[in-house]
Amino acid sequence: MKKILVCIDDSVYAQAVCDAAAWVSQRTGAAVVLLHVFTPPPKRASRDLSGAIGLGAKSELLEQLTELDENHGRVEQRKGKLMLTHAEQQLRAAGVQNIEVLHRRGSLVEVIGELEVQMDLIIMGKRGEHADFDTLHLGANLERVARAVHKPLLVTARTFQPIRQFLIAFDGSPSASKALEYIASHSLLQNLKCHVLMVGHINAQVRNTLTKAANTLEQAGIGVHTALKVGPRDEVIADYVAAKEMDLIVMGAYGHSRMRQLIIGSTTTAVIRSCHVPLLLFR
């Protein structure tokens, strides 16, 4: 792994994101690209509903709107810089040598889309600074990013513990197979205890898929513990994580379209919500 993209903002997740970045960087020797994206807020309205336009109406309005944006932009710029400096110091203290700092303007999804080509892993928090802490609501950005990126995405919880054992939530889908291949071929999760969990009907075909998955990992020298369970996916995964004290969930993400998700919901979203451990998502 060469480069990881670490997205921070002004939320409590920034700390966990930095810790995760330090952990990944130490294991793989990857360089860290620290990113903060300032998204200009939707323009606030002036309270002028008079509808009257006089001489110089256009230039006056332009001046007024520019001033509003200017003030806000300056504050945000300073805030973002502080945030990045702080995060950089933390990473240096944790022993990360190679750090690049990026401060961009625009939408997070767009910026990540531009940068991801050079990246091997993207790290961000479950929620951003604008999301509240009601566990039922995810950051608006997370799903958008998760659906848009082509690289693995590590989503951190509010705190980050070094990972000792991790769970692969396997369903045989192309994205889950991608996750499997990644783990088998990359140093990131080598030498850690691995569990592979499949949820579904218990029959020969499913068993076969699971055994194949385990074999792939074992051939790469990873010790595997497999489990096959029946029930609603998100609940089974959450129970398993809690019971076996898993530190990380690896899974394929958002395999279905938004339309389907509107009607029957998304397993990925449910798992991200209900588990308080980081997730490594693959599309």
Partner 1 sequence: MSAVRLPKISLFQLQTEWFGNVRNDLLAGMVVALALIPEAIAFSIIAGVDPQVGLYAAFCIAIVTAIVGGRPGMISAATGAMALLMVGLVKDYGLQYLLAATLLTGVLQILAGVFKLGTLLRFVSRSVMTGFINALAILIFLAQLPEFAGAGWQMYIMVGLGLAIIYLFPRLTKTVPSPLVCIIVLTALSMLLGLDLRTVGDMGELPNAFPVFLLPDIPLNLETLIIIFPYSLMLAVVGLLESLMTAVIVDDLTDTPSQKNRECAGQGIANIVAGCFGGMAGCAMIGQSVINIKSGGRGRLSSFSAGCFLIFLILVLGDWVQEIPMAALVAVMIMVSIGTFSWASLKNLRTYPKSSNLVMLTTVVVVVFTHNLAQGVFVGVLMASLIFAYKISRLLAVKSELLQVDGNTERVYRVYGQVFFASADTFMAFFDFKEVVERVRIDLTAAHFWDISAVAALDKAVLKFRREGTEVELVGLNEASATIIDALAIYNKPDALERMSDH
Closest CA to 125 of 255, 3, 33, 19: 19
CB of 272 to partner 1, least distance (A): 18
- Residue closer to partner 1, measured from CB, 62 or 242: 62
Q: How far apart are CA 142 and CA 134, in angstroms?
A: 15
Kindly state whether residue 130 participates in binding partner 1, applying the rule CB under 8 A. no
Instruction: Please classify residue 133 by burial: count the beta carbons closer than 10 Å to its beta carbon, then call 0-12 exposed, 13-18 middle and 19+ buried.
Output: exposed
Kindly state whether residue 147 participates in binding partner 1, applying the rule CB under 8 A. yes
DSSP-assigned beta bridge partners for residue 47:
none
CB of 268 to partner 1, least distance (A): 15
8 Å CB contact between 237 and 195: no
- Residue closer to partner 1, measured from CB, 161 or 173: 173
- Residue closer to partner 1, measured from CB, 94 or 148: 148
| CA 141, chain centre distance (Å) | 9
Kindly state whether residue 103 participates in binding partner 1, applying the rule CB under 8 A. no
Q: How far apart are CA 198 and CA 15, in angstroms?
A: 32
- Residue closer to partner 1, measured from CB, 42 or 95: 42
- List the beta strands (DSSP E) in 110-164: 121-125, 153-156
CB of 228 to partner 1, least distance (A): 30
CB of 46 to partner 1, least distance (A): 6
- Residue recorded with tokens 């998304």: 266
- Under DSSP, the state recorded for 137 is -
Residues 20-49 vs partner 1: string with x where CB under 8 A? --------------------x-xxxxxxxx
Tokens for 77, please give them.
């710029």
Q: How far apart are CA 280 and CA 276, in angstroms?
A: 13
Kindly state whether residue 58 participates in binding partner 1, applying the rule CB under 8 A. yes
The residues in 236-265 that bind partner 1, with binding defined as CB under 8 A, are 257-258
Kindly state whether residue 117 participates in binding partner 1, applying the rule CB under 8 A. no
Q: Which residues bind partner 1 (CB under 8 A)?
A: 40, 42-59, 61-62, 65-66, 69, 109, 144, 147-148, 257-258
